[in-house]
Amino acid sequence: MNQFLIADDHPLFREALKGALQNQFEGLDVIESENFEQTLERLSENDDLDLLLLDLHMPGNGDLYGLIRIREDHPSLPIVVVSGSEDLNTISKVMGYGAMGFIPKASSSQDIVTALLQVLEGETWLPSDIKEKIKDLDGEERQLAQQVASLTPQQYKVLQYLHEGLLNKQIAYELNISEATVKAHITAIFRKLGVYNRTQAVLIASKLQLEPIEAAK
């Protein structure tokens, strides 16, 4: 019996995907989550998961951060990204950062099942028309993934707010923490990313941003 985790913020999509998979995988146990924090909780509660189906734009995911963080914390868990976007740059990064498959949300139920069966066998899967078009990550991008993986979820939230141009007191208000805690987070972020100022940190954050959510849904 397989156990899958579907991490997506759209209940109707989760329900449809769950139904399609349970029709194809006998005795399948499906766990669900609707944001990044809940996904981390589900992962910590279920150490025998066979597969994670991950939506990149799920709340709290921070685009590529969620994938990088989960890959770091659960190196043996097969992760398949399910997305409404078919942007080649996004797919290249997703595969380079550790996903074993990328399934467009427009895929048929049969294609999804075929993809997951292949991943469960230890192989990677991409749509045939995309497979030859994606690019390998360069050394700088791989190093970036390692650095970002060292950030805690709270530190990554602070980095996102820095990217949005918020001041320390504004970040403190948004996260309901003290300015001193914000400063401590920023110091840790600079150290882990190997940068010395906000501008350099913001440039790194920009590299993890994908296309606007509206374009991917």
Q: Helix, strand or coil for residue 105?
A: coil
pLDDT of residue 213: 33
* Greatest mean pLDDT among 60-64, 86-90, 197-201: 197-201
Whether 89 has a pLDDT exceeding 50, the answer reads: yes
44 shares a domain with 103: yes
pTM: 0.81
79 shares a domain with 107: yes
Q: Look up the CATH number of the domain holding residue 189.
A: 1.10.10.10
160 shares a domain with 75: no
From 102, 131, 160, the end of a domain falls on 131
Burial of 215 (0-12, 13-18, 19+ CB in 10 A): exposed
Cβ(39)–Cβ(70) below 8 Å: yes
Whether 208 has a pLDDT exceeding 50, the answer reads: yes
181 shares a domain with 123: no
Q: Helix, strand or coil for residue 121?
A: coil
Per-residue pLDDT band at 33 (split at 50, 70, 90) = very high
More confident call, 216 vs 98: 98
Q: Helix, strand or coil for residue 154?
A: helix
More confident call, 177 vs 134: 177
168 shares a domain with 105: no
Determine, yes or no, domain membership for 111: yes
Amino acid at 62: G
Q: Which domain holds residue 196?
A: 150-215
Condensed to tens digits (0 to 9), the pLDDT of residues 179-207 reads 999 999 999 999 999 999 999 998 888 87
